[in-house]
Structure 1
Amino acid sequence: MLVLTRKNGETIKIGDDIEITIVSAKNDQVKIGIKAPKSVEILRKEIYDQIQEENQQASKDISSLLMNLKTQK
């Protein structure tokens, strides 16, 4: 993990087309602005993790349903 120190208004570049700007930092909160192409999906990690968990559960449910259909024939 790369750790950088930035002040309000300063920016970090990732590749050619992603910029992360520190909008404000106070107390225990940092507000960031992200400029990226529309093709780049940007999610908070807890939301990303929740989606992954739901997808895994849905996959298990479908597999279970298919197994039940096979045994009923």
Structure 2
Amino acid sequence: MKNVKILGTGCANCKNTLALVEAVAREKDVQITLEKVEDLPSIMNYGVMSTPAVVIDNVLVHAGGVPSRGKVEGWF
């Protein structure tokens, strides 16, 4: 099971990233725990200056904009 965190303050791009990650994981039948992190100090702990960002198993894999579907599929 992968631990996935979506970092962002709640903007439309953050919500779209969350929905995309959820959809791809479901389509690929990958078990994930999905957490939305909106607390700015927590986001900055990852060194993120541009959201949305995605962290998988405590590794920052994407920051700044909605990732492409192909990129998300590559994570799973």
Same fold (TM over 0.5): no
Query: TM-score of the superposition, structure 1-length normalised?
Result: 0.27
**Higher relative CO (CA 8 A, sep ≥ 6), structure 1 or 2?**
2
| Higher alpha-carbon Rg | 1
Query: TM-score of the superposition, structure 2-length normalised?
Result: 0.26
